[in-house]
Every structure is written in C-alpha cells, then in structure tokens.
Structure 1
Amino acid sequence: MTGVHLVGSGIPTLLPTHGVGTRTDLPVPTPLTLAAAGGAVLISFLVLTLFWRRPRTRKDAGPALPAAVDALVGSVVLRTALRAVTLGVLVGVVVLGFAGPTDTNRNLGPWLIYVWLWVGLVPASVLLGPVWAVLNPLRLAHAVVARLLRLDPADGVRPLPAEVGRWPAAVFLAGYLWVELVLPTRADPPVLAGLIAGYCLVQIGLGCVFGSSWFAGGDVFEAYSRVIGSMAPIGRRDGRLALRNPLDGLDDLDAGPGLVALLVVLIGGTAFDGLSRTSFWQSAGATGPLDGTVGLALAILLIAVIFLLGTASTVATTARDTRRHPPAAFAHALVPIAVGYAVAHYFSLLVFDGQQVAILASDPLDHGSDWFGTATHVIDYTLVGTNTIAVVQVLAIVVGHLVATVAAHDRATRLYPDRAAVRTQYPMLATMVALTIGAVALIGAP
C-alpha cells in the first residue's frame, strides 16, 4: 500500500514507499505483550480440548430476517442501480487518472482505490457479507457487453471448469499486491488508471468467455469480499437472509480449489507490508523493485509453508487412524487471521487517510470547486490516539487467531474421533502461536 508521510502542513503526501501506516510511534510490542498474545492462543486451545469435544457449528442456526429486507437486498433493480453507481465511480477514477490532477495528493483515484475500496472492503464484508458481489460494476459492464455481442451473460461461450475455483483471484491478488507494495509508480494517477482499465478489460473479456460465474472466483475484489464475508453475522439460510454465528458462516465456506492460495497470498502480502516498514528492512537497503518482489514472494511462500506444516497431521495416516483430509479442509481457519492482519495493519489508514477521500471529492478536478463543503478541510489526526491504535492492532491479531483456533478445533472434532481431533491440532496450535507472536512483533517493530 502506498505509504503516507506527514509533512509540516498536516497534509498527507502519498509516497512510493512500502507500508501504509500513518503513525509509526505506536507503543506496541514488549516481551510481555508478545508472551501474553501467544499465551492467550495457547490457553484457548487448552480450554477447547476440555470443553469443546464435539462440533458446535450449525448451518441452519439463526433467525431469518424479515421478508421485506430479503426482497430489497435481492432486488434486481436495486443491484443494477448500485452497480451503475459504482461503475460511474470506476469510470470517473480512470478519467481522473488520465485527465485529472497529476499530483497524487490532489487526485481522488489513488485514495479511492487504495483506501476506500481495498481497505474498506474488510469491515464492510465482515459486517454485511460479500458486499462487492452486490456492488461489483464489472458484472454490469459484462452484462452490457455480452448483450452487445449477442452472448448469454450467464453462460458465455464455454463453461468454467470446476477445478478453476478461486485460482484466478489468487493470481490477480498476487499481481495487485505487487502493484500496491512494490511498483514504484503505483500512486501515479495515469499509471493507476491504466492498470485499472487493463484489469477491467481482462475481467470483462473472461466474463464473456465463461459467463457471469467467472467473477465469483476470478475478480479479486469479489472473491476477497466473498471469503471475508463468510465471517459476517448475516448470511443465507434456505435461500433467505438470516442472522448467524460468524463461526457458522466460516464453517460453511466452500473449500474449493484456490481458497488456500487466495488466503495465503492475502496473509503473506499483509505480512510483507508490515515487514517492509521496519527499520530492519530499510537498513538492509531493500528498497528497489527487485528486493520488493523477492520479499513479497518469500513472505507468501513462508505463510504457505507454515500453513502446510500446521495441517501436516491432517493428511498423515497411522495404523490406528486411516482418516486423512487435505489442508483445504482447514482453510477456513485462515479467514479470521487474514481479517485480523488487515485490521491491525490498515485501521489507522482507513480512519485517517479515509478522510482524504471526502476532502478531494468536493473538488475532484482541482479547479477550486467545493461541491460538498469539504474541500478546505484537513485530515484530523487527533481523531484516534496512538494508544487506541495500538490496542486495536493487538486485539485484532489476538482475536483473529483465537477465532481461527476455535474454527480449526471445531472442524477437527467433526472430522476425527475425540483424541485424534486434539492430536491433529498440535501442529496447528504451534502455527497459531508463532503467527500471533510474529504478527504482534511486526506491527510494533521500529
């Protein structure tokens, strides 16, 4: 993510550096904090082994929401209208990139994409579910193009192979993270506009080939929102919107092809973002695109290896227990970790730099207009203090890993006998503790 540097005037300046934090003086971590974070995960596992001996997640739990609410959310007219609005905003971002202010600090596009879209999707999806599936402007653009080409928008030219799954989204996510964290010119409006236009053309073209089902696993933003949205307290039961326990939603997440890859890339990218802001990384002189590319790839690889080691006992067989399950059976446990990492790393970005979107929206062309009366406002950096940010960061990481531990344990009790369920979770426990301590250390590393 494009970093933000605070200059004397109080106006943020987007810089082509690693990291996103607007505050770097957070009073986090101490050895005591690291020990407490890891200890919380360990204690939670011990409690689970004693009092959580059978699966408790239920796919049919939770009361249904009123029929009027369900009808409104599912309304084709409403979805079309919302997608038309987001499509207009998307077109506006591209136009502003090529014809708007050349100064990144005065161009609305980078702030909308890097702050409101990418970071804002996390809380929106966690609270409301897969919101981007409803708002996705590419679905509307694809439907229009398909009709013009006399294609069936739903079916396309050929069926999408089931084994494709979320693999395309994982690949596009890796590309997005490379742009966001490595590409030196990522904040330049024309560069960003060109990348957005190219991405949209590719997505719409693939949608025409494979039909509208492509976007669920092919568009990185929709796939990301759908996976994160599995934790939302709102879901569907028997086709109706209903309230639910987030653990029930996690357990119901489809562990199809590419899910592990998508989550591993997401967590690895966030971890690299934290690493790239440390003095260790900077003092090593790792500031070039090649260094960033290698670092990002190694971070993703590290998370992949850690997850595979954590699930190693689930694929092993013994003379007494011949049951075996692939690592993907526990991929849902990575979702709360991904959410925790995102909140920890980007909370202050959304709170502070999210204000810049409202400021620039009043004068998008930088011609002196003030449409919403906010053009002369400045970002209020006193809105949230460093202590609050530090608490949110640590809690997000610890709670994310606690929920992940519970989700993995519940799945194990469903797949294995009592003692085997606990035994298969020992490597996962070690993984959770290590990731917790490492994540807390990164957010406070100088």
Structure 2
Amino acid sequence: MVVQQAVSASAWRWVWRVAGLVAAAYFCLGLIFGPDQVENPTAGVVYVLFWVGLLPLSLLFGPVWRTLNPLRTVHLLACMALRRDAETGLRPLPPGLGYWPAAAGILSFVWLELVAPERTTLPVITVWLVAYVVIMMAGAVVFGSRWFDKGDAFEAYSDLAGRLSPLVRRRDGVVAWRNSLDGMAGLRPAPGLTVLVVVLLGSTMYDSLSNAPVWVRFVQESPVPAPVMGTTGLLTVIGVVLAAYLGATTLAGRWGAAEPGTTPGELAHAVVPIAVGYMVAHYYTLLLLEGQRTVSLLSDPLVIGANWLGTAGWKVSAAGTTPAGIAMLQVTVIVIGHLVGTVLAHDRALVLFPRRTAVVGQIPLLLLMVAYTVVGLLLMFAA
C-alpha cells in the first residue's frame, strides 16, 4: 500500500494547488501593500494560521502542505512552460542532504517567531520570507521538485505530523481509515531527521520557558541585549534536548547490543508524537483566540475598512473554554504524545535489539520519555 495524503487525488490535486496560489496571493496583499500596523493580518497569518494551523490540518488530513505549497506549484508551472521534467534538476539530490535543509529552515523560523527583534513588523517578516523563497526556488532549480520533500521546512513539518493522520489514500484511490501509528512507524532514518524533530520539540519548550516569570525577569535585568539572550536560550534548550536524546539512545544502543551509531536515527520517529503533543498543548489557546482575530482582520488586509471575506465583524470568543478545561487538555495531549512515542520506541527497539538484550536496552528510552514528560509539564505550567 502506498500512503498518500487524503487531499491529493488526481481530480482534486490542481484544485488544491490553485487554492494554495490564491491564498498566497491574497496574503501578499497585506504583506506588500498593507500598512505596518497591528490591524494588518500578516503576522497573525504567518505565526498563527499558517505555523500553528498547519499542525492540526496535517494531523487530520495528512501532509497537506505538499499539495498546497505555492512554491512547489510555481516551480511545476515553470517546468511545464519550459517542457522540462519537474523532478529533474541540474544535478541529482545528494543522498547525504536529507532533512538538514528543513532542520535549518525550522530553526530559522522559530528564531524569527520567538527571538527576532520587531518580529511582527512587515519589514522583518518580508525579509525572512523573501530569503526563504529564494533559497527554496534555487534548490528546486538545482535539484528538481524532490528538493521540496525534505528541503522545504514546512513540507517536512507537515509530513511528520501527517504521518499520524488516521486517513490514508490507498493505491486504488479510495480513502480509508488506518492505525495512526502505521504512518509514523514507516518513517525511516535519514540525515538530519534527528535534529529536525529535536528542533521542533526544543523550540516549543523554549517558548514556554521564555514566558516564565523567572526567565522574563532574568532577561530584563541582564545587561546583554534581549535578542542575544533569546538566541542563546533557544540554542541552549535545543542543545540540552538533543544531548539528552543522543545520550539516552546511544546508551540504549550499547545496552541493547544494537549496531553502533544506528540507534539515534532509528528512534527519531518516536520523538515526533512527543513534539506534536507538546505543540498542540502549547499553541491550542493561541490558535483558538488569535486565530479568530486574524480571520477577522483578513477581511481587510489593506486596512481600508473593507470586509472582503465577510469576517470583519467577528468577535473573539473563548468558545466555552475554562482554565481547568485548558489545563486538562494540555496534560492529556502531552501524556498521549509521550505514550505514543513510547510505543513507537518499544516497537522499533524490538527490531533493533537482540531478544536477550531487548528489555535492558529500553530502560534509557523509558527514562528519556519520563524526563521529557516531566520537563514538558513543568515548563507548560510555569509559563
């Protein structure tokens, strides 16, 4: 069975591609022609509707950004006009490249979101987006459309989350239900994959830490500029998460008598549900509240009093949520993410480790999962 995203049937593929182009063009109205004011929806679209909203969309329907990605569509249209094979570039995609470009792209984006000075202003967002578009399109020209699979940070991000989707399109085109673990279990080791998933988890942990009163006071009282402190903090948290992962998985490999150096890459897929659970818990209220506000502002991207989408009059509603309900949701999704990660790590360990060492080899993995759970919950409620 070939796993394909639920929205990519041949009859609909171009509908979604066009929808992605239209949405990108509409977004550019506010980005290019709108005033640099808080009423401009650009920042909300980038940081809330796109970055946060892409996660639940991928969890439900699979790696949707592969089809919606306007950069992939523009490249495809250009290749069709030039009568070239879109998958063929000027040179083959290096096997060792793997997910490294996506990991670098995610790191640069979370730095923009969490650390960059004036990060909600149009000039800062524009500079980052232009640089990203240039790099992505240059990669597509050199390596062909396969570049987007692991080179585009947001396609890789959507693909990782989409592997937990309960929907699958079979080879015959029929959409069917599946065990969500099947897609994640099929994620194989690749260069840069470990760093990519750790950046997703570590950056979300840093976001919680940066909102904690202790960290806020520390930054305010420090003589070091806030962007330097923020960059150092972000890299430190990611580094600690990575060191803990590499230490535990390397030790597991030794105790489990696995082939040296293979365990960290083989178990990277088990971190994805943990990162996804933590991101859902952390960003749920942001998507719920700021998402409504951004949709309202989208009716007037030029801030001229228009109501092009009919949403300008929307009022932000908490939709019946309560602090206790939100806290319960956060704890639940974090625990579920860790349970799923533990199951995935257990199943892969049974394949990696000989039967005589399978149990002892999983002890460091269990301790790692417990540590991630405790630290995640502490950071979540410290913010």
- Deviation of residue 335 (structure 1)? 0.8
Distance 1:199 1:190, change over 3 A: same
Q: String of CA shifts for 1:345-393, please: whole Å, max 9, x gaps.
A: 1000111111012211222222222234331332113542211111111
Alignment pair present for 1:413 and 2:350: yes
| Distance across 2 between alignment mates of 1:290 and 1:443 | 23
Alignment check: 8 A CA contact 1:151 1:157 kept:
no
The reply to whether residue 399 of structure 1 matches residue 333 of structure 2 is: no
Alignment of 1:223-262 (within 5 A): 223-235=156-168, 241-262=175-196
**Distance apart, 1:238 and its partner CA:** 5.1
The alignment status of 1:331 with 2:268, answered yes or no, reads: yes
SS at 2:267's partner residue?
Answer: helix
Asked if structure 2 preserves the Cα contact closer than 8 Å seen for 1:80 and 1:140, the reply is no
Q: Which residue of 2 aligns with 1:115?
A: 48
Matched, 1:167 2:100: yes
The one-letter amino acid paired with 1:88 is V
**What CA deviation, in whole Å up to 9, does each residue of 1:212-243 have, x standing for no partner?**
00001011110100111111112355575542
Q: Per-residue deviation at 1:421?
A: 1.5
Give 1:360's aligned residue.
297
Return the offset for 1:149. 5.8
Structure 2 distance, partners of 1:322, 1:415, is 6
1: CA distance, partners of 2:55 / 2:324: 22
Residue 99 of structure 2 contacts residue 191 of structure 2 at CA under 8 Å; is this kept in 1? yes
Whole-Å separation in 1 of the counterparts to 2:352 and 2:326: 39
**What is the RMSD computed on CA atoms of the aligned residues?**
2.3
Q: In the alignment, what sits opposite 1:130? A: 63
In 2, the alpha carbon distance for the partners of 1:213 and 1:219 equals: 10
Answer whether contact 2:252 2:365 (CA < 8 A) is retained: no
Aligned residues: 377
1:424 CA displacement: 1.0
1:19 corresponds in structure 2 to: none
Letter in 1 for 2:307: D
1:277 aligns with 2:198: no
1:297 is matched with which residue?
235
Inter-partner Cα distance in structure 2 for 1:385 and 1:255 = 41
Match in the other structure for 1:379: 316
Gap change, CA 1:394 and 1:368, over 3 Å in 2: same
| Residue from 80, 103, 109 that aligns with 2:14 | 80
Q: Does 1:429 align with 2:362?
A: no
Q: Report whether the alignment pairs 1:184 with 2:122.
A: no
- Does structure 1 conserve the Cα–Cα contact (< 8 Å) formed by 2:277 and 2:337? yes
CA distance in 2, matches of 1:223, 1:272: 21
What residue identity is the alignment partner of 1:94?
Answer: C
Q: CA deviation at 1:147?
A: 4.6
Q: Tell me if structure 1 keeps the 8 A contact 2:252–2:363.
A: no
Which fold has the larger relative contact order, with Cα–Cα distance below 8 Å and residues 6 or more apart in sequence? 1
| Partner amino acid, structure 2, of 1:316 | R
> Is residue 315 of structure 1 aligned with residue 271 of structure 2?
no
Residue 371 to residue 97, structure 1, CA distance change in 2 (3 Å): closer
Asked whether the 8 Å contact 1:167–1:259 carries over to 2, the reply is yes
Larger radius of gyration: 1
Output the amino acid matched with 2:212: T
Deviation for aligned residue 1:148: 5.3
Letter in 2 for 1:268: G
Q: Does 1:193 align with 2:193?
A: no
Q: Give the equivalent residue in structure 1 for 2:139.
A: 206
Distance 1:322 1:376 in 2: 60
Three-state SS of the structure 2 residue aligned to 1:345 is helix
Within 2, Cα distance between the matches of 1:264 and 1:248? 21
Q: Which amino acid aligns with 2:326?
A: I
Contact 1:183 1:289 survives alignment (8 Å): yes
CA distance in 1, matches of 2:279, 2:72: 26
TM-score, normalised relative to structure 2: 0.92
**Offset, 1:317:** 6.7
Long gaps (5+) in structure 2: none
